[in-house]
Amino acid sequence: MKRGNKGYLFILPYFLAFLVFQLYPIIYTVILSFQRPITLIDMEFAGLENYRRLLTTPIFFRAIGNTWYIWMVNFVPQIVISVFLAVVLSEGRFRGREVLRTLYFLPNLVTAASIGVLFAVLMDWRFGTLNQVLLQLGVLAEPINWLQMPRVAQGTVSLIQWWQWFGYTTIIFMAGLSAISEDLYEAAYIDGAGRFQVFHLITLPLLRPTMLYVLVTSLIGGLQIFDIPRVLTNGRGAPDNALTTMVLYLYNQAFHFFNVGYAATVALFLFFMILVFSVILYVLLNRDPESARMARAARRRMRT
Amino acid sequence: MMIQPRNPVSSIVLRVFLVGLAIICVMPFYMMIINATRSNVEISRGVWLTPGDQLLRNYEIIQSKVNIWRGFYSSSIIAIPSVVLSAFFSALTAYGFAKFRFRGREALFWVVLATMMIPQQLGLIGYYDLVLRLGLLDRYIPLIIPMIANPGMVFFVRAYIQSSIPDSLIEAAIIDGSGEFRTFITIIFPLAMPAVATMSIFTFIHKWNDLITPLVLLNSADKFPMPVVISTIRGLYETNFGAIYLGITISVIPILIVVVTFSRALIRGLTIGAIKG
């Protein structure tokens, strides 16, 4: 046997596991989306019934809207602050830089379920620390039941997401910045460019690939948000369904109401939505606008 | 990097901002620990910045309803074998992709990459059905075995093997009469350890934090891992806030310790994925 072909043996276990535990369940989910339950166990073919139901259920659209809203409100401030922090922390070496980076990163890997419960109790209307602080400072005359207000509840989830992820994103942008040649900055400063010009004409265009990575991974993760809305609302998505996200809706349909076929349809819709938007982002960010061309021109001039 | 001098005022404003953000990152954890040592009455009366003396009392309240260490045990029973399987098979797969030339190698590696982009929840319903048919509901096995296929780790370890293990080393081992599998066990696996270890920390934390899979696949309360236990804690202790805070603290502290201890390795691991990906 040729040595190269022995490689198949090394990758075989992975692909067996992949086929059984990842691909098969996905294919089966597709099949389920065309079925309806007759008893608890048996299913029958239902054609496009689940798809029709999906497109005529207002709460499903509500869930899509909530998920996007929560993601956007977290992501926009996150990316602005992270790019800013990455630039500041990459410039020069000041003391405590490593410590700051670690502290910003700290919330990222902590169990989301625990974080959700923690914020729920911190924001509790009678016992919560937030109301206690506001009462003692005299900002509030009486406690407010924050998490019963739909917009505040959504904002809280966004805030938690922001809090958990801005440090991570900063680290990724710092890595992206370190890949930009320092000669480029020097040349720009020698040519008399100001701090903001350099940022606008060099840093930002050259951060594009990193930006794409951050956007796509954040979108994939953000549209699948489940843990925090679930623990904040004990699984109900309350108040007024404001925290019913797509995956929470999917989970409740599949494992509370046992609408397995319908829930499978929701899963597929989620997948295609993520796929379509990832492709759109990829195309948009890979285009070649003015500033990127100028950065390349600057680089060319450096070489000669 | 060459920078223009900044004026002192904006420099101070910047420092305050940076430190302020760091405080925001730490504050919720700090309040959590402080409140875990305070009684319910104290928590309802005001804000405390120093520890109290109710830690043991809160612990007794927790243990009177749930054995919180049981959740710890379940989480470990799931996470540790997952990490071991994932480490071994990812290294095996990564080595296969890195150091063997076979037909379809590129295409198969693309399959691995593509699975990284697929949302975890897509196959969840189908997987539940599979587990149901196999009669494995409410067992730990279906939470562990799929970790044999861990695409992120394969990707990362492959890059490491490609860049740091020379072909000549493998050739020498084979000339010395070592079989392919023995070469992997005795030479490649130990040499790939830095990459395997870094990714194992991530795998461990992600497995430890997972809420939705155990929620779907387990149904006896005494088998629930930590995140599932914590998600029910508010209903269980109602207004015993000291006890709730202590429960959260117990679930969060191990992760905080791991993150602080390994922060350098973890941050390096993140950035390699980002630049190459």
- The domain spanning residue B180 has which CATH number? 1.10.3720.10
What distance in Å separates the CA atoms of residue A260 and residue B5, rounded to the nearest whole number? 62
Quick one: angle between helices B263-276 and B241-261, nearest 10?
A: 70
Q: Could you tell me if A250 and A64 are in contact, meaning their C-beta atoms sit under 8 angstroms apart?
A: no
- Identify the domain boundary among B62, B88, B108: B62
Does residue B196 fall inside a structural domain? yes
Nearest chain A CA: its distance from B133 CA (Å): 10
Contacts of B31 in chain A (CB under 8 A): 122, 129
Strand-pairing partners, residue A37, are: A43
Residue A226 predicted with pLDDT over 70: yes
Residue A188 predicted with pLDDT over 90: no
CB atoms within 10 A of CB A23: 18
**Which amino acid belongs to residue B14?**
L
Q: Could you tell me if A207 and A292 are in contact, meaning their C-beta atoms sit under 8 angstroms apart?
A: no
pLDDT of residue A30: 94
pLDDT tens string A112-124: 999 999 999 999 8
State whether A122 and B31 contact (CB < 8 Å): yes
pLDDT tens string A203-220: 888 898 899 989 999 999
Q: Could you tell me if A172 and B271 are in contact, meaning their C-beta atoms sit under 8 angstroms apart?
A: yes
What distance in Å separates the CA atoms of residue A128 and residue A148, rounded to the nearest whole number? 14
What distance in Å separates the CA atoms of residue B275 and residue A209, rounded to the nearest whole number? 9
Q: Which residues of chain B have pLDDT under 50?
A: 1-2, 276-277
My answer on whether B96 and B17 are in the same domain is: no
pLDDT of residue B25: 96
Strand-pairing partners, residue B18, are: none
Nearest to A66 by CA among A223, A259, A262, A221: A223
Across the range A20-37, mean pLDDT stands at 93
Contacts of B99 in chain A (CB under 8 A): 7
Chosen from B6, B13, B15, B25 to mutate, greatest number of chain A CBs within 10 A: B25
pLDDT of residue B43: 87
Contact A67/B at CB under 8 A: no
Q: Could you tell me if B243 and B44 are in contact, meaning their C-beta atoms sit under 8 angstroms apart?
A: no
State whether A11 and B96 contact (CB < 8 Å): yes
Q: Is the Cα dihedral B160, B162, B167, B171 positive or negative?
A: positive
Q: b/e string for B134-172 if b means 16 or more Cβ within 10 A?
A: eeeeeebebbbbbbbbbbbbbbbbbbbbeeebeeeebee
**Which amino acid belongs to residue B85?**
L
Q: What is the CA radius of gyration of chain B?
A: 24
pLDDT of residue A47: 84
Q: State both tokens at B228.
A: 């599932």
What distance in Å separates the CA atoms of residue A71 and residue A77, rounded to the nearest whole number? 11
Contacts of A29 in chain B (CB under 8 A): 122-126
CB atoms within 10 A of CB A209: 15
The mean-pLDDT minimum among A173-177, A285-289, B23-27 falls in A285-289
My answer on whether B228 and B140 are in the same domain is: yes
pLDDT tens string B26-78: 999 999 999 999 998 888 887 888 898 999 999 999 888 888 899 999 999 99
My answer on whether B28 and B110 are in the same domain is: no
- Angle B173-B176-B180 from CA coordinates, rounded to 5°: 50
State whether B146 and A22 contact (CB < 8 Å): yes
> Percent of chain A scored above 90 by pLDDT?
56
Phi-psi domain of A138 (left: phi exceeds 0; alpha: psi -120 through 50; beta: other): left
My answer on whether B109 and B196 are in the same domain is: yes
Chosen from A2, A3, A8, A10 to mutate, greatest number of chain B CBs within 10 A: A10
My answer on whether B47 and B91 are in the same domain is: no
Residue A31 predicted with pLDDT over 90: yes
ipTM of the complex: 0.91
What distance in Å separates the CA atoms of residue B237 and residue B143, rounded to the nearest whole number? 29
Domain assignment of residue B197, given as a range: 67-276
What distance in Å separates the CA atoms of residue B47 and residue A194, rounded to the nearest whole number? 47
Secondary structure (H, E, C), chain A: CCHHHHHHHHHHHHHHHHHHHHHHHHHHHHHHCCEEECCCCCEEECCCHHHHHHHCCHHHHHHHHHHHHHHHHHHHHHHHHHHHHHHHHHCCCCCCHHHHHHHHHHHHHCCHHHHHHHHHHHCCCCCCHHHHHHHHCCCCCCCCCHHHCHHHHHHHHHHHHHHHHHHHHHHHHHHHHHCCCHHHHHHHHHCCCCHHHHHHHHHHHHCHHHHHHHHHHHHHHHCCCCHHHHHHCCCCCCCCCCCCCHHHHHHHHHHCCCCHHHHHHHHHHHHHHHHHHHHHHHHHHCCCCHHHHHHHHHHHHHHC
Q: Specify the residue for token string 């890195």.
A: B98
My answer on whether B79 and B50 are in the same domain is: no
pLDDT of residue B156: 93
Nearest CA in chain B to A279: B117
pLDDT of residue B273: 59
* A149 φ/ψ angles, rounded to the nearest 5 degrees: -95, 120
State whether B126 and A5 contact (CB < 8 Å): no
Architecture of the domain spanning A59-303: Orthogonal Bundle (1.10)
Q: State both tokens at B273.
A: 């994925």
> For all residues of chain B together, what is the average pLDDT?
90
State whether A91 and B1 contact (CB < 8 Å): yes
Report the Cα B148 to chain-centroid distance in Å. Answer: 16
pLDDT of residue A155: 95
**Which amino acid belongs to residue A242?**
A
Secondary structure (H, E, C), chain B: CCCCCCCHHHHHHHHHHHHHHHHHHHHHHHHHHHHHCCCHHHHHHCCCCCCCCCHHHHHHHHHHHCCHHHHHHHHHHHHHHHHHHHHHHHHHHHHHHHHCCCCCHHHHHHHHHHHHHCCHHHHHHHHHHHHHHCCCCCCCHHHHHHHHCCHHHHHHHHHHHHHHCCHHHHHHHHHCCCCHHHHHHHHHHHHCHHHHHHHHHHHHHHHHHCCHHHHHHCCCHHHCCHHHHHHCHHHHHCCCHHHHHHHHHHHHHHHHHHHHHCHHHHHHHHHHHHHHC
pLDDT tens string A40-99: 677 788 889 999 999 999 999 999 999 999 999 999 999 999 999 999 998 866 778 889
My answer on whether B157 and B109 are in the same domain is: yes
Strands A43-45 and A35-37 turn out to be: antiparallel
Residue A109 predicted with pLDDT over 60: yes
State whether B119 and A224 contact (CB < 8 Å): yes
pLDDT of residue A186: 84
My answer on whether B207 and B236 are in the same domain is: yes
My answer on whether B269 and B182 are in the same domain is: yes
- Identify the domain boundary among B45, B62, B79: B62
Domain count, chain B: 2
My answer on whether B137 and B265 are in the same domain is: yes
Q: Specify the residue for token string 């509500």.
A: A62
My answer on whether B132 and B37 are in the same domain is: no
Q: State both tokens at A147.
A: 């998490």
Chosen from A127, A184, A206 to mutate, greatest number of chain B CBs within 10 A: A127
Does residue B3 fall inside a structural domain? no
Residue A11 predicted with pLDDT over 50: yes
My answer on whether B218 and B142 are in the same domain is: yes
* A127 φ/ψ angles, rounded to the nearest 5 degrees: -105, -5
pLDDT of residue A300: 61
What distance in Å separates the CA atoms of residue A248 and residue A233, rounded to the nearest whole number? 11
